Amino acid sequence: MSVLSFTLRTIREPFQRWAESRRPRGDSIELNQKRIFIFPSAAGGGFLLVALLLLLIGTNYENNLVHAVAFLLLSLFVLSIIHTYGNLSGIRVTAKESHSCFAGERAEFELHLTANGKRVRENIQLAWKGGTPQTVKAIDGDGCRVRLYHPAPKRGRLKPEPLLIESTFPLGLLRAWSWLEIESSAIVYPAPLQVQMAKSQVLDGADGGRQATDGGEDFSGFTQYQPGMPLRHVAWKAYARGRGLHAKTYHAQVDDRIWLDWEAFSGQPTEMRLSSLCYLVIQLEKHGDHYGLRLPGKSFEPDRGEQHRKRVLTALALHPGDRV
Amino acid sequence: MSEQYRLSRPALLWQFIAIAVVVVPHLSHLPSWLLVLIVAAVGWRLMVHMGRWSFPHWSIRTLFSLAACAGVFLSYGGIGGVNGMVALLIAGFSLKSLEIHKRRDALLVVYVAFIVATSALLFDQSVWMAAYVLIAVQLTTAALLAIYQTHNVDMGRPFRTSAVMMMQAIPLMLVLFIVIPRMGPIWNLKMDVGSARTGLSDTMSPGEITNLTRSSEVAFRVRFEGKRPPQNALYWRALTYPDFDGRSWYRDEARERQPVPTESLMIQRPVLKYDLMLEATGSRYIPTLDMPLSAPVGVRLNPDMTLRLNLPLQKREEYSLESALQYRLTAQGEALNYVRELSLPIGNRRTRELARSWYAETGSGDAFIARLMAFYKSSFTYTLKPPKLGRDSIDKFMFETQRGFCGHFSSSMVFMLRSVGIPARVVAGYQGGEWNPYENYLVVRQYDAHAWVEAWLPQKGWIRIDPTAAVAPQRIERPSEELFSEEEDFLRDAPLGGLTIGRNSLLADLWLQWDAFSYGWQQWVVNYHSRQTDVLKRLLGEITPLRVALALLIPFAIVMCLVALKLFWRHWHLVRDRHDQALERLSQRLAHKSGLGRQPGETVKNYSDRVAEIRPDLALYMQEIAYCYEQMRYAGDDTGSSARRMLNMIRQCQTKV
């Protein structure tokens, strides 16, 4: 068994390397004979069995007309090589926009497919490697836009897996396919992690000194402790009295300019910090607040609006992670 | 390929068309309950599609499937035969049509439809059936296409596409048909195809042969090597009847074991070689011209010099035969050895007495036969509608009615001969045939069936005597269709019988041409396996694996290239079109200078508008270019003035960029 799988691997691996080295890359790729593979599909195997069965019947009954039908079916099979190939060749796949998403969601890539010549290409499946295929009903010279969703498990810059474009049209007997390395990317924001907006993480922009992150000056009260709150704000005395876990909150001089600071989450793992910040950004944007962000080596002045949000979230997404 | 694939309405309709079309040729042998099943299943599926009913519960489907299996088993007595197999397939795929949910189910129905369509050719190999099956395969292919179409889903497109694909596939099919070597049967299967066959029967009552004269079906066709013999020498011997029970002539199987006198055949050269293509008779005889010299494989040569197959002939078969027309078949002994050919049942006293008195008067066998023939010639009438004969049928025929045809004449003559101790037997076969001048062969039809006499004379051995020739010489010298055309009963059962009458009519001519065509079909298509070696030798010079491979590959490559050319031509054509090239150059130049390249898929009109907005100095040119382009491409401007003007504009525009 292991010998067999080993043999299979030794055969398959160089082939895969070779196939991968031939994979076209770029943000706009046209399919041609160098890039299209073709092989009988399962349905084609069944069709060949039917033709073989007819040949057997024709042979046994010495019936030349049954032979003729079997040969006709075989001819159809051979012809459909050209037709299936023709259905895929000359399609140009162009990466258009990509849309950001949060980690754990699926990033949307917009592709533009055009067909050269006047032939309409029909029934084409598109899928990222390992993803579920999506059927494109028709592609003509004017082209069509396809939205493909790519799983985005991690934050950062998402480079899509190779794109599989395949078709068994018109008779379903052969499968023509091609792997394309689409050069496009999408920003995957950190997965938002719900945190209470502690005032300590939020600073007035006016005196935004670093020491301010150690806590505001004015104690204002207690609040239910939420994961993510700094441990040193926990009201241990209250906890010891059996009143549950509470956090002390401090008043900062709040106006509508809010700073989100990386350092406010110190003591937490990087990813958790980023996720919490991400959540806060979403919340603040939703409330229409002005907010700024300070990351090590980077800072964004308080602002609001879609552009700002995107910039800030992108910064969070691309923040270097912990290198092990 | 999602598993939740839903069949489109055209795809579903195409499935039903395919089912209907492939079932039609089998209607004649399918039991009626199966037809009800098909209609019910298809009807139910349609109701499901229209949303009126729901899919039957699985228990109902299982019940139906089991019932269908049992039904087929009972109706056909097992599923060993072709009929039963086909019936089972049909039952299967009509029930399957009830549960087409996924693409795979639809594919199964289509694939089985291909098999059912083809199986019709096991029952009938005529040109008509072949043409029908070709259409059925095309429609089934359309059903297959319909499953996969996603764009402009309709009924018409699969039909057109399948027609085009058929056109492309047929040349490839022909190449495969001609070149791919045929193997012999891998295992033997008994064909139980059809049962009613026309042909000579194993017994002959005098009235029997009239039934055959009603049929214009082809009995066999013959192609002679060299000159064909004259019409009156064409006696095709098929069976001899040595035994007589007073009513009919037959061959008594119980007496077959009795010793037969050893006979020797002396022949005079030249012998006649011919290929005889015999239609399925369901019987074991092969008609041969006079004395066959040898028996083909699987055929026995009887002591009476007729050929007998080991198994009844269930399909058309071709034999290469050799016959001697000048011969002497004689026994090393005397007349009394032929006990069987001399025995007579009691009765018909008057005929016996007449025979004895004539033999006494004439004194020799030859003279007796001559007298007998003269009697037939003077007193008898040839008719296909003889009066009924009661008991002592020979007496009644010889002395009262004196009207009849070959069966009556030969029967009575053998009786007369045996009465005076001359061994004699009735021979059944065919006489004559119709020459087809278009393809140079002889076609013998059932209405050419004939019966005559063979008598054994000491010095001559067995000789042929045809009393019918004495009564109606024209029966022997002219083809029977000419002769019988006035007879009411002649060709009564033939569907086109009336049309063939009249030798000089246009229809008769067409009929001959048609027969020539169908004979060619039989020879070159249906029986191709027996000629393939010759054909390949003539085509390739010599049959080597390399040459066979080349003979396959080269035509394949040519056809595939042509198909590919047709498919991709427009693409290449567009790329090479110099107008588009000029436009492309302009676009590149604009992209270089002003970043105004033409986007993929952007129409010329949109592009020119876009350029005009940013480069007002080029607006006039661009508008003109767009206008000319539209004129040239879409307004059907054949004069080429728009094209020239466009090229001119592009050139001027380019200098301005």
Each domain of chain A, given as residue ranges in start order, spans 22-189, 199-318
Using left for φ > 0, alpha for ψ between -120 and 50, and beta otherwise, residue A130 falls in left
- Which of B121, B151, B152 is the closest to A66 by Cβ? B121
Contacts of residue B272, defined as CB under 8 A and 6 or more positions apart, other chains included, come to B224, B225, B226, B229, B289, B322, B323, B324, B325
Q: Return the pLDDT at B492.
A: 46
* Contact predicate B273/B226, CB 8 Å: yes
Query: What does the alpha-carbon distance between residue A25 and residue B640 come to, in Å, rounded to a whole number?
Result: 41
> Which site among B115, B134, B141, B148 would you substitute to test the A interface, given the most A Cβ atoms closer than 10 Å to its Cβ?
B148
Q: Return the pLDDT at A268.
A: 83
Q: Is the pLDDT of residue A209 over 60?
A: no
**Exposure letters A278-298 (e unless 16+ CB within 10 A, then b):** bbbbbebbeeebbbbbbbeee
Query: What does the alpha-carbon distance between residue B198 and residue B194 come to, in Å, rounded to a whole number?
Result: 12
- Closest by CA to B161, choosing from A135, A46, A43, A122, is A122
B528 Cβ under 8 Å from any chain A Cβ: yes
Q: Return the pLDDT at B657.
A: 76
Three-state SS annotation for B256-281: CCCCCCCEEEEEECCCEEEEEEECCC
**Which residue type sits at B586?**
L
Q: What is the mean pLDDT of chain A?
A: 82
* Range ranked top by mean pLDDT from A38-52, B204-218, B283-297, B342-356: A38-52
Query: What does the alpha-carbon distance between residue B499 and residue B505 come to, in Å, rounded to a whole number?
Result: 9
Q: Return the pLDDT at A228.
A: 62
A145 Cβ under 8 Å from any chain B Cβ: no
Contacts of residue A258, defined as CB under 8 A and 6 or more positions apart, other chains included, come to A202, A203, A205, A284, A289, A290, A291, A292, A302
Q: Is the pLDDT of residue B319 over 70?
A: yes
Residue B637, burial from CB neighbour count under 10 angstroms (0-12, 13-18, 19+): middle
Query: What does the alpha-carbon distance between residue A122 and residue A131 come to, in Å, rounded to a whole number?
Result: 21
* Contact predicate A139/A90, CB 8 Å: no
Q: Is the pLDDT of residue B142 over 80?
A: yes
A123 Cβ under 8 Å from any chain B Cβ: yes
B165 Cβ under 8 Å from any chain A Cβ: yes
**Digit-coded pLDDT (tens) for A106-152:** 899 999 998 887 788 999 999 998 888 888 888 887 788 899 999 99
Taking an 8 Å cut-off on Cβ atoms, the answer to whether A71 and B186 are in contact is no
Q: Return the pLDDT at B479.
A: 59
Contacts of residue B227, defined as CB under 8 A and 6 or more positions apart, other chains included, come to none
A88 Cβ under 8 Å from any chain B Cβ: no
* Contact predicate B281/B196, CB 8 Å: no
Q: Return the pLDDT at A213.
A: 38
- Beta bridge partners, A94, equal A28, A112
Is B69 catalytic? The answer is: no
CA distance B524 to chain A (A): 10
Average pLDDT of the residues in B126-131: 92
Position of tokens 């009458």?
A: B501
Q: Return the pLDDT at A218.
A: 57
Percentage of residues in chain B having pLDDT higher than 70: 88
Is B592 catalytic? The answer is: no
CA angle B610, B615, B619 (to 5 degrees): 75
Please name the residue of chain B whose CA is at the shortest distance from the CA of residue A48.
B111
Structure tokens at B188: 């033997």
DSSP B368-399: HHHHHHHHHHHH-EE-SSPPP--SSHHHHIII
* Contact predicate A137/A123, CB 8 Å: yes
Q: Return the pLDDT at B2.
A: 41
Q: Return the pLDDT at B464.
A: 92
Average pLDDT of the residues in B486-499: 48
**Digit-coded pLDDT (tens) for A8-61:** 677 777 777 777 777 777 778 888 777 889 999 999 999 999 999 999 999 888
Chain A segment 55-84 residues within 8 A of B by beta carbon are 56-57, 59-76, 78-83
pLDDT-based confidence at B192, cuts 50/70/90?
very low
Among the listed ranges A297-311, B116-130, B350-364, B591-605, which one has the minimum average pLDDT value? B591-605
Among the listed ranges A75-89, B230-244, B523-537, which one has the minimum average pLDDT value? B523-537
pLDDT-based confidence at B3, cuts 50/70/90?
very low
- Which of A46, A122, A141 is the closest to B150 by Cβ? A122
Instruction: Please state at what angle helix B127-148 crosses helix B156-179, rounded to 10 degrees.
Output: 130
**Which residue type sits at B360?**
A
Q: Is the pLDDT of residue A195 over 70?
A: yes
pLDDT-based confidence at B498, cuts 50/70/90?
very low
Catalytic residue among B243, B290, B395, B466: B466
**Digit-coded pLDDT (tens) for B433-487:** 888 887 788 888 887 888 899 998 888 888 999 998 888 887 776 656 555 555 5
Query: What does the alpha-carbon distance between residue B406 and residue B432 come to, in Å, rounded to a whole number?
Result: 14
Average pLDDT of the residues in B110-131: 92
CA distance B314 to chain A (A): 11
Task: Report the half-sphere exposure of B401 (CA within 13 A, side-chain side).
Answer: 20
Strand order in the sheet with B203-204: B203-204, B249-250, B243-244
- Closest by CA to B232, choosing from B455, B452, B437, is B452
ipTM for the complex shown = 0.76
Predicted TM-score of the model (pTM): 0.68
Q: Is the pLDDT of residue B162 over 90?
A: yes
Supply the CATH classification number for the domain A22-189: 2.60.40.3770
Average pLDDT of the residues in A170-188: 91
- Closest by CA to B144, choosing from B191, B99, B112, B177, is B112
* Range ranked top by mean pLDDT from A75-84, A145-154, A231-240, B452-461: A75-84
Position of tokens 């009913």?
A: B53
Q: Is the pLDDT of residue B213 over 80?
A: no
> Which site among B22, B110, B121 would you substitute to test the A interface, given the most A Cβ atoms closer than 10 Å to its Cβ?
B121
Is B653 catalytic? The answer is: no
> Which site among A53, A64, A139 would you substitute to test the B interface, given the most B Cβ atoms closer than 10 Å to its Cβ?
A64
Q: Is the pLDDT of residue B494 over 50?
A: no
Query: What does the alpha-carbon distance between residue B510 and residue B515 come to, in Å, rounded to a whole number?
Result: 8
pLDDT-based confidence at A263, cuts 50/70/90?
confident
**Digit-coded pLDDT (tens) for B563-583:** 888 887 755 545 456 777 788
- Beta bridge partners, A29, equal A93
Compute the residue count for chain A. 324
CA distance B127 to chain A (A): 10
Chain A to chain B, count of Cβ pairs less than 8 Å apart? Answer: 174
Q: Return the pLDDT at B79.
A: 61
Among the listed ranges A136-140, B194-198, B649-653, which one has the minimum average pLDDT value? B194-198
pLDDT-based confidence at B117, cuts 50/70/90?
very high
Among the listed ranges B55-69, B104-118, B366-380, which one has the minimum average pLDDT value? B55-69
Among the listed ranges A15-19, A99-103, B533-537, which one has the minimum average pLDDT value? A15-19
pLDDT-based confidence at B121, cuts 50/70/90?
very high
Taking an 8 Å cut-off on Cβ atoms, the answer to whether A133 and B563 are in contact is no
Query: What does the alpha-carbon distance between residue B606 and residue B236 come to, in Å, rounded to a whole number?
Result: 85
**Digit-coded pLDDT (tens) for B388-427:** 777 788 888 889 888 888 888 899 999 999 999 899 999 9
Average pLDDT of the residues in B364-368: 89
